[in-house]
């Protein structure tokens, strides 16, 4: 079953097309990620899907309901859980009180204590929200998104601004969501996050989806070749390798890079190296989503989410 179905979605502001005719769908139980730099249109799209923002054109079905109909919007709200970008709660209320407040908005909800346990927040249940670290605040936000036991969970940049350790903690939570059978829609500008968590990724750039598929598919299609690296090869070895194989480059610090077309070629290089008795530090570099993004858009995404 499809939890999300988006057809030709357009969001037009005065003179900018923030979202420029995108179409995609998300299956039940899938973790789907929108990956792209700041300003790509990820948050605008997600806010339209959450019924927080109006759309200019196109059709959107969330959990089978048409978000352009007011009656359906009420149903959508019952079925989704949301962690908005820059999540905040009432400062002077405790973690538990804040999650209870969200729970009370629904006719049916999970036990607040169970959700607190799921997010590992037991120690902090009675701490005031204002005294929490960024990572803990995000976990409260995820707890609030889950307390209504939604079918579909939206997480808008769940780890932006967190330190690596807090980021890993949030990832662990997201991995457990998948085990609970939730459908998750995630936006992120961290390549690694999308690669680790998502079943399928839509790469977004300048309002358009430029590629869509599983991490492996994307890497296979756009990531380019694997590269064999021989660290600090001496001149004789480097020259011989250059004579014998194609696609060889020698870096200024003396490393030899050989692009590998197929497994057969890899074996040929390896046996040549054995023949040469080249006892060298050897490494095979597989392409990542970063290479995919670079290949498709011609740019990289910085830690802060900007293109460079």
Partner 1 sequence: MRFVAIFEAVTKNWLRSRTGLFFSIMFPIMMLFIFGSIFGGTNYVPTMTAAFIMTNGIIGLTSTNTEFKRRGIIRRLSITPLTKADWIVGCVLSQTLLNLVLTGIMITIGWVAFSVRVIPDPLTILMIFLGSVMFSGIGMALSGSIKDVEAASAIGNVISYPMMFLSGVFVPLSIMPSTLQSISNFIPLTYFSDGLKAAIITKSTGTILFDMGIVAALAVAFIAIGVLLTRWKEK
CA dihedral (220, 190, 32, 69) in degrees, to 10, reads: -130
Q: Which stretch binds partner 1 (CB under 8 A): 89-97, 182-190, 238-246, 276-284?
A: 89-97
- Do 126 and 96 touch, CB atoms closer than 8 A? yes
Select 177 or 269, whichever has its Cβ closest to partner 1: 177
Q: Does 61 bind partner 1 (CB under 8 A)?
A: no
For CA atoms 285, 287, 291, 295, the dihedral sign is positive
What DSSP assignment string belongs to 6-45? EEEEEEEETTEEEEEEEEEEEETT-EEEEE--TTSSHHHH
Q: Does 125 bind partner 1 (CB under 8 A)?
A: no
Select 147 or 269, whichever has its Cβ closest to partner 1: 147
What do you get for the CA distance between the two ends of the chain, in Å?
39
Select 67 or 260, whichever has its Cβ closest to partner 1: 67
CA atoms within 13 A on the CB side of 223: 19
Choose which of 106, 171, 245, 272 interacts with partner 1 (CB under 8 A): 106
Choose which of 34, 61, 87, 185 interacts with partner 1 (CB under 8 A): 87
Select 147 or 228, whichever has its Cβ closest to partner 1: 147
Give min distance, CB of 84 to partner 1, in A.
6
Contact footprint for partner 1 (CB under 8 A): 47, 50-54, 74, 77-78, 80, 82, 84, 86-93, 97-98, 100-102, 104-107, 128, 144, 148
């Amino acid at each position: 079953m499809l939890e999300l179905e988006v057809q030709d979605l357009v969001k037009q502001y005065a003179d900018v097309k923030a979202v420029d005719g995108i179409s995609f769908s998300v299956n039940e139980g899938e973790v789907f990620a929108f990956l792209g730099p700041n300003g790509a249109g990820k948050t605008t799209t997600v806010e339209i899907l959450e019924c927080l923002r109006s759309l200019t054109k196109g059709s959107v079905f969330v959990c089978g309901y048409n978000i352009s109909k007011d009656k359906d919007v009420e149903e959508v709200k019952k079925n989704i859980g949301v962690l908005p970008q820059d999540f905040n709660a009432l400062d002077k209320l405790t973690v538990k009180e804040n999650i209870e407040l969200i729970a009370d908005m629904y006719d049916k909800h999970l036990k607040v204590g169970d959700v607190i346990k799921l997010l590992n927040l037991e120690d902090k249940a009675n701490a005031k929200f204002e005294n929490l670290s960024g990572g803990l605040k995000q976990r409260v936000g995820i707890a609030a998104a889950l307390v209504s036991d939604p079918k579909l969970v939206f997480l808008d940049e769940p780890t932006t601004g967190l330190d690596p350790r807090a980021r890993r903690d949030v990832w662990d939570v997201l991995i457990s969501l998948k085990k609970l059978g939730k459908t998750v829609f995630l936006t992120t500008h961290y390549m690694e996050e999308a690669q680790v968590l998502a079943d399928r990724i839509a790469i977004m750039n300048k309002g358009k989806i430029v590629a869509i598929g599983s991490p492996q598919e994307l890497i296979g299609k756009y990531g380019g070749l694997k590269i064999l690296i021989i660290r600090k090869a001496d001149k004789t070895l480097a020259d011989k390798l250059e004579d014998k194989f194609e696609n060889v480059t020698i870096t200024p610090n003396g490393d030899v890079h050989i692009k590998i077309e197929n497994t057969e070629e890899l074996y040929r290089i390896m046996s040549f190296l054995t023949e040469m008795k080249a006892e060298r530090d050897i490494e095979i570099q597989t392409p990542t989503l970063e290479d995919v993004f670079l290949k498709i858009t011609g740019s990289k995404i910085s830690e802060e989410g900007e293109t460079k």
